Structure 1
């Protein structure tokens, strides 16, 4: 039995409970959710704490689980050291229920711990048949022939009576277009720009809202406010649904006895009316951009969502019949993060220019004054010398009072500067507020070192990544395109995993990739009709393994390294989180993708396929626009063939993990045959390089490991020469090859080469951005080429290196999920750093590394969390002694200038005097 609360002899206690990667998630439609925890040491001065068994209780009520019973699941004691990805194996879960759970563990001596604090999750609706609600919308539909949007975002409301206050009620809401939920005038929850962006040719995601606290005996009203946004997006056009915001919502209302009092569901009895807000412009790249919002204060109805409103003149909602699968939103919602303004400047033409201090993507709130009926305009810009970039602008129409407050609601801007036109007096600094918006995943890391430039790169990469992570996928840029490019994902995914808790986020994004598979890339004619999915021309649905270059957004150019994210990302998630389900769920997609590439392979070499933008190689290397990127030259063919081999090798590893031996053997054979063909076709035996001798193709060849084993070291030496000699330490790759380059160098432990590139202070490099007053990472190494973004996913790949390279906290390939890991301190000659420190909330607990060099000595302070073990690599001269005071870290080897220690859980101080 477990010990009673308040006393424990166990060395560990479980904390930080999660369900499907999240804390107390709501509305899950996963029949067998996975549970997890990490362990806290009862005495952090001790060593070797580990878990030998666990016991989980799951119950339908908090009272039951508090009594240490599990009426849904009592796992009994399971002899296991696993603490993540524990699949629920109790009674079948029911829809629209809350389940409570807790866990106890036994330590290394078999002593049982206290139970954890109680955690919970709630379920959504497991089957489509449980939805009796109907899709509703307004009668007005977007007409692309009219250009910019003319429709105001619609309100919907439904009044009803209750005999008594309910005990519980969850409102499930899915929408095409963003939505907000109100009950009796009160906004329910605080997410913004929801639901997460989704392929609305196939799916709509619902959120769960607890509305019981806002309901009351007597008359009640539920209000829904829809925003235009993705409802008019061209690639989501299908014949079964209108181009207008639509919503489906359903709530069962229960009394204290658990009896259902009534069901509220959207249907034709709901009323609708235009709100004062509308999309300003259009929604999409190539059709006028994403615009902003217009608020007309003359159309306000203050009590639109309260019981006091007389809605007899409102119209009846229209029932629509889209063929969409309803799925729970399994990713965190969007949240607001404050961005305070830095200053306001009056300009000679009577306008005012606000400096928000940093480039960001998000919302603003600005109090304004002017003449009654006038329109105040807000122009957003990334560049100080330009009044507006990418057509992002919003407006506020003043009512008779001549004053008001503009605030975003269903769109967002992106930039640093805001020009305000049409006001009669200067807005005060405290009249202006700003918020960055992003998916609310938790931070997972901190980092700092002795070099201010490296600290700037790290913090700016993180800030940029956050600004790109709105809506459950990573966009290339938040102002011009807003597409979820697979190629850009290669440049960001490990930076994301090493710095944030991204499990739910990437699980959702991979579902988006499964949804879009089978549709050809959205290249070709740049107009609304040709870009509509399943229409003639671009975007036709083939149903095979082809992948568009972005998900869930379809648009854009790319190539094999764009679609290939469907192989790379599941494998990274498995290694990082120990998640085998992500391999199983995406295995069919991986197989179809590789079959598609096979259909364009001759004599073991991948051939160019698709349109002019469908077979890109590297993208945006220094001076790339002048040299020409989209071409049929051999370097592109070489790079994409190397990438295909990497896909094949990775897919084979995935297949072996999940027991698909036949597929593994097939892909291994293909990889070896193609590697030989690539080496024969593109290797320069005199120069030891590939194709055009570029840094990009050297990196790609190493990434795919296409050379004979005996030549790999030679090619690495040639890459070193390319970086240090031919390029004088500068980087000379773009998005695609840059991600390959940094991955190769990180895996090879070549911190010296990465440091050389990240520490250069002239063009091209990150310092060049800093010295040109960047506050976010640019799209290109150059700043001033018109039409390019200054907030972009292009060069975020150093973000992972600061954790696994400089701080040295690395995955152990033999044990996924950081149950075992490596801490490798960089050699003195690798960097000019005198110290670095980081913390990393790994899936198995918080790892801390802090090393310092002084007077030729080295000190490493290390925390190894309970139930894990570290292999510690200390760089030292031949024969030098390494001190470690605790005696628990055991020296196990000396190789390549390092002394290796095996360290179980605990705190350590390693010293070289």
Structure 2
């Protein structure tokens, strides 16, 4: 009897464990959202997008896993959210497969509102998963009336107004439970509370078109305040608000700040900038004009430095009254779109060596953009130490610092210390002049600074040169994105060039979560547009500017790419009117017989461009090429506009743009096709590639033109490029369109001039402005190649309009490569592609995330029935549907999940 009972009990327990195990396995298979973002950012504070948009991603190893519905809860308190109380918004169960930029659907949010949120999803079997971890955001000041303070500045009649200290003391009768400071400056600022610097956000805020827009940021300062006497301080500097630059109306920076304090018993107190603030000149004098080639640095006079200037008990009786500024031009004041700058990485010196009398050269081993910090034995009082910064010292007798210089004036103390505050430098080498004792390596630091955009990708392959080229481009983007946009170069010009930006946008958007940056950058292009619809070549624009169509078309191309890759509909809505004013208005008014053959009456330089920075810099010698390229840009823009108009529900516009594009193609062919020689325009690589890309080449000539392009690369130029800034992305796009990644591999697999390998062979750590290494060695000219590593070698191809909702995976097994692997985070989740050639077989592991509807998988194979997936015929595998052969590929449609395809080579 006891034995029977024990056996029965064992059976029951075993069954219970099996049921529990099954339930646990099912729970494990349910999807929980991760990577929660609001307006592309992690827990942003003080935004003004209305309504804010919320995003998340999903991952699952289960084949066919997908989101079919979601529920978002938004609460006004963390406690309420923890109790599943969405008092600001409970979306309920919303049928949708998308976790991208879902708009907040509650009542209109008010200024300062704190929002805490979480999300859960239902899968393809209508099973609901666990709630995500909580996230948050807060609204900024949404109305002009919310600002209860005045703009102030240092009165230039009292001295140099370009870098003053400002302060105010006040008393609290309680320990604050909440306190936030809203800071809006024209120029840079640092915020201090009771002597403590608040947030390490160097060079804040990002520059804007000051006649149209300025930014504010929000800081949480409750923990820095105390009962009794307190002090708030602003250290402001000219930054981009430099006299002579476009939109600058005053000499010296202008600031306003509003400290809003809450107490435990409902107390409220506001401290704002106004006439009762005090000011004095600081220890820093701004050096340089603040314009192209003259961005200068800072002069620090230590005898003027007051370490306690922002503390409550500091004696400010000798300070001056601030000047209240009542004539700031009316403009839009909004929250900064991109997250603030940070020091993301620090570098120690590789070498410190003598470089002349009392002079030392510090080599950090890599180019970088950012800060410089050094401690040293200070010289006598009044003596100067100079710091010069270089990206190259190739010719030690002819060094060019591009006016990047800081100066330290000693007060005679034993230890000297200099650190950049309101300027940055782009450099590899720092020259220190004026100290006898060499600085120690542990006392010198270079800081890489860039804005808030996290990496999305990883890549490696069996060819070390290609991996190094990828890594150089990946790193170069970090050196170019300090100012809220991608600059052409961070030392000479520091401007958001449209040509460089247009060429590199697909690469930047692929490699980094940069949607917030592009949102702000494209607003600057709207702000800079002329009354006649003309666009500049840079934005924010610091001077009258001109540029070729590829530069000006940045607003169209970048908007299209952001919308495609990030599923951002709003960016198209926002920029569509400006796109039309430029393309329909300005550009078409400059055409004759429907062809664009040059600009007329441009306000600056009359630039028309075409390609730029080709080997040998032959722009002027290739006039026909310039005209062909610029008319191909028009076709590309019309094609983009047709798709954009379709997405926006503007059917008539879409039809009109399609008609324009289709009518222009044969006209461009007739004008630029050289029948006698069987080529286009000046017979350059960009002429052939662009004509092929936008279908100027009639179908019956495409094979011939592809062969001519191949011969130019492989035979005529012995495997080398003959293109520049515009030609790089066009060549990549053409190669992807016609499945000729072998040509891109060929030009990359060279270490001789011109090419990326030539840069690396000559010590490059970042990409250059020119193939021969002239001028800037930190530049955005040639970074358009970056996207090919993911779309070409790894084969992760977004649909032209649906993006990653309906992608294609098609690897390029080219050259001597034996393997390549990449991971790419997207709005649909994380894709992975890892192929290798083993014992005469292709083995290809892929991951397709739950955010896709389906993915087309193209396996290089001679016949479809030779392809296996996870050890069985691919057509019989779970989640795989065979679609036949397409050229040299067996085509399958797959659902989300992990797969291993194999095929004989």
- What TM-score range do you get, normalising by the shorter chain? over 0.9
The 1:703/1:341 distance shift into structure 2, 3 A limit, reads same
Match of residue 551 from structure 2? 562
Q: Distance in 2 between matches of 1:354 and 1:884?
A: 55
Q: Distance in 2 between matches of 1:680 and 1:866?
A: 47
2:508 counterpart of 1:503: no
Aligned length: 863
Q: How does 1:574-723 map to 2 (within 5 A)?
A: 574-594=563-583, 595-609=585-599, 610=602, 612-624=605-617, 627=618, 629-630=619-620, 633-723=623-713
Match of residue 547 from structure 1? 535
Match of 1:480 among 465, 486, 492: 492
SS in 1 for 2:691: helix
The 1:683/1:891 distance shift into structure 2, 3 A limit, reads same
Deviations 1:539-584 (A, max 9, x none): xxxx121011100034455211101011101111111011111110
Match of residue 773 from structure 1? 763
Match of 2:481 among 469, 481, 503: 469
2:280 counterpart of 1:273: yes
Q: Distance in 1 between matches of 2:423 and 2:25?
A: 50
Q: Distance in 2 between matches of 1:707 and 1:598?
A: 23
Cα contact 2:819–2:834 (8 A) shared by 1: yes
Cα contact 1:141–1:242 (8 A) shared by 2: no
Match of 2:736 among 726, 730, 746: 746
Q: Distance in 1 between matches of 2:844 and 2:157?
A: 64
2:26 counterpart of 1:35: no
Cα contact 2:348–2:441 (8 A) shared by 1: no
Match of residue 69 from structure 1? 85
2:243 counterpart of 1:226: no
The 1:663/1:554 distance shift into structure 2, 3 A limit, reads farther
SS in 2 for 1:606: coil
Cα contact 1:841–1:847 (8 A) shared by 2: yes
Q: How does 1:851-866 map to 2 (within 5 A)?
A: 851-866=835-850
Match of residue 322 from structure 1? 328
Deviation at 1:632, TM superposition (A): 8.4
Q: Distance in 2 between matches of 1:365 and 1:244?
A: 26
Q: Distance in 1 between matches of 2:778 and 2:52?
A: 36
Match of residue 899 from structure 1? 890
Match of residue 302 from structure 1? 307
SS in 1 for 2:95: coil
Between stretches 630-639 and 640-649, larger displacement belongs to 630-639
Match of residue 867 from structure 1? 851
Q: Distance in 2 between matches of 1:120 and 1:141?
A: 46
Q: Distance in 2 between matches of 1:731 and 1:517?
A: 34
Between stretches 490-499 and 738-747, larger displacement belongs to 738-747
Cα contact 1:231–1:244 (8 A) shared by 2: yes
Match of 1:26 among 31, 45, 48: 45
Deviations 1:801-838 (A, max 9, x none): 1111111111123523x1232221213xx322111111
Deviation at 1:260, TM superposition (A): 5.2
Q: Distance in 2 between matches of 1:442 and 1:401?
A: 42
Cα contact 2:864–2:885 (8 A) shared by 1: no
Q: Distance in 2 between matches of 1:403 and 1:371?
A: 11
Match of residue 538 from structure 1? none
Between stretches 773-782 and 340-349, larger displacement belongs to 340-349
Deviation at 1:360, TM superposition (A): 1.3
Match of 2:780 among 767, 790, 793: 793
SS in 2 for 1:230: coil
| RMSD after superposition | 2.0
Cα contact 1:863–1:908 (8 A) shared by 2: yes
Deviation at 1:178, TM superposition (A): 0.8
Cα contact 2:161–2:253 (8 A) shared by 1: no
Deviation at 1:350, TM superposition (A): 3.2
Match of residue 796 from structure 2? 809
The 1:73/1:6 distance shift into structure 2, 3 A limit, reads farther
Match of residue 869 from structure 2? 884
Deviation at 1:36, TM superposition (A): 0.8
The 1:559/1:17 distance shift into structure 2, 3 A limit, reads same
Match of residue 217 from structure 2? 207
Match of 1:16 among 16, 22, 35: 35
Between stretches 656-665 and 16-25, larger displacement belongs to 656-665
Deviations 1:742-792 (A, max 9, x none): 222223321101011111221111111111111111110112x4xx11111
Deviation at 1:622, TM superposition (A): 0.4
Q: Distance in 2 between matches of 1:57 and 1:472?
A: 31
Q: How does 1:63-142 map to 2 (within 5 A)?
A: 63-140=79-156
SS in 2 for 1:508: helix
Q: Distance in 2 between matches of 1:693 and 1:47?
A: 49
Match of residue 534 from structure 1? none
SS in 1 for 2:47: coil
Deviations 1:132-177 (A, max 9, x none): 211111012899xxxxxx6551111111111112221221111111
The structure number with the bigger radius of gyration is 2
The 1:560/1:142 distance shift into structure 2, 3 A limit, reads farther
Q: Distance in 1 between matches of 2:672 and 2:445?
A: 56
Q: Distance in 2 between matches of 1:109 and 1:292?
A: 61
The 1:10/1:878 distance shift into structure 2, 3 A limit, reads closer
Match of residue 430 from structure 2? 418
Deviation at 1:67, TM superposition (A): 1.1
The 1:5/1:65 distance shift into structure 2, 3 A limit, reads farther
The 1:615/1:250 distance shift into structure 2, 3 A limit, reads same
Q: Distance in 2 between matches of 1:790 and 1:636?
A: 26
Q: Distance in 2 between matches of 1:876 and 1:672?
A: 35
SS in 2 for 1:492: helix
Deviation at 1:879, TM superposition (A): 5.7
Deviation at 1:882, TM superposition (A): 1.4
Q: If the length of structure 1 is used for normalisation, what is the TM-score?
A: 0.92
Match of 1:160 among 170, 178, 187: 170
Cα contact 2:480–2:490 (8 A) shared by 1: yes
The 1:260/1:653 distance shift into structure 2, 3 A limit, reads farther
Q: Distance in 2 between matches of 1:671 and 1:260?
A: 63
Match of 1:737 among 717, 727, 731: 727
Cα contact 2:162–2:253 (8 A) shared by 1: no
Q: Distance in 1 between matches of 2:312 and 2:669?
A: 74
Deviations 1:622-652 (A, max 9, x none): 011xx4x347822212211111111111111
Between stretches 605-614 and 213-222, larger displacement belongs to 605-614
Q: Distance in 2 between matches of 1:233 and 1:704?
A: 44
SS in 1 for 2:587: helix
Q: Distance in 2 between matches of 1:900 and 1:581?
A: 34
The 1:379/1:114 distance shift into structure 2, 3 A limit, reads same
Cα contact 2:45–2:139 (8 A) shared by 1: yes
SS in 2 for 1:799: helix
Return 5+ residue gaps in structure 1 as ranges: 144-149, 519-542
The 1:152/1:490 distance shift into structure 2, 3 A limit, reads closer
Cα contact 1:512–1:551 (8 A) shared by 2: yes
Deviation at 1:860, TM superposition (A): 1.1
Between stretches 584-593 and 9-18, larger displacement belongs to 9-18
SS in 1 for 2:644: helix
